[in-house]
Amino acid sequence: MRVLLVEDDADLSRQLKTALADAGYAVDHAPDGEEAHFLGDTEPYDVIVLDLGLPKVDGVSVLERWRREGKTTPVLILTARGAWSDKVSGFDAGADDYLTKPFHTEELLARLRALLRRSAGHATATLECGGLRLDPRAARASVNGEPLRLTSLEYRLLHYLMMHQGRVISRTELVEHLYDQDFDRDSNTIEVFVGRVRKKIGAERIETVRGLGYRLTALPGETAPA
C-alpha cells in the first residue's frame, strides 16, 4: 500500500516515514503544498496524510483542488490546529479523518488502517481469504494457521492483493501501489515477487489472467481458519 505524506517539519517527516515503512507502506513525501498537489494529481496513492499549515499552498486549498479534480483518495488531515472550526473546514474540504498534533504514532497508523479498510469495503481489521489471514496491525500473515515469512515487498504485494481479492489487478497497478516514487520501477519484477509469494501461500491461490494481471481467490471449498 502506498502513502503520500505531506508534512513540512523535517524531523516529524523522518519519524513518520520510518514508522510507515516499518508498518509495510511505500512512502512518498512532499514538504509543501505545491509538490503535494502535483504528486497527488499524478501518482496513485492508497491514502494521504496531509498537514494543513504548509508552505506555498495551505493544506485545505490542496485538498479542495484534489476533490474538485475528482480525486477520491482517502485523506487524513494532520495538523497542530485543534479548534473545532479548523476541523470543520478540513472535513468540508473533503477530508476523511482528522488527527491533531501532538499525537501517538500508533493512533495515526490505526486511523490509516481504518481508512484503507473502508475505502476497500472491508469491515474487519484482519483480512481473510480462505485459509489466508493478514493482520495489518502487526504486519503479519499466515496460511492455514502457519505464519508466513515475507520480505517487505512480498508483504506489500500480498496485502494489496488481499485488500482487492477477487478483482483482476494488472502489473502496472501493482507497480504503482507497491513502490515509492524513487524506486527504479520495472513491471517485470512483479512476476518475480508474485512467484515468490505463490511458493509461500500456494500457487493456485493467485490466478494469472492472461493479458490482464493477477487475481487472489480462496481455494474451492476453503474456509477461513477458526
Amino acid identity for residue 43 in this structure: E
* pTM score: 0.85
Confidence of residue 223 (pLDDT cuts 50, 70, 90): low
pLDDT digits (tens, 9 = 90+) for 67-88: 999 999 999 998 887 677 888 8
Residue 159 has pLDDT above 90, yes or no: yes
pLDDT the model gives residue 144: 92
Residue 32 has pLDDT above 70, yes or no: yes
pLDDT digits (tens, 9 = 90+) for 99-149: 998 999 999 999 999 999 998 888 888 999 999 999 999 989 999 999 999
pLDDT the model gives residue 80: 80
Buried b (16+ CB within 10 A) or exposed e, 156-183: bbbbbbbbbbeeebebebbbbbbbbeee
pLDDT the model gives residue 86: 80
Residue 226 has pLDDT above 50, yes or no: no
Helices 171-178 and 187-201 pack at an angle, to 10 degrees, of: 90
101 or 215, which is more confident = 215
> DSSP states of 179-197 as a string?
S-TTS---HHHHHHHHHHH
Confidence of residue 28 (pLDDT cuts 50, 70, 90): very high
Q: Sketch out the chain's domains with CATH numbers.
A: 2-120 (3.40.50.2300), 127-216 (1.10.10.10)
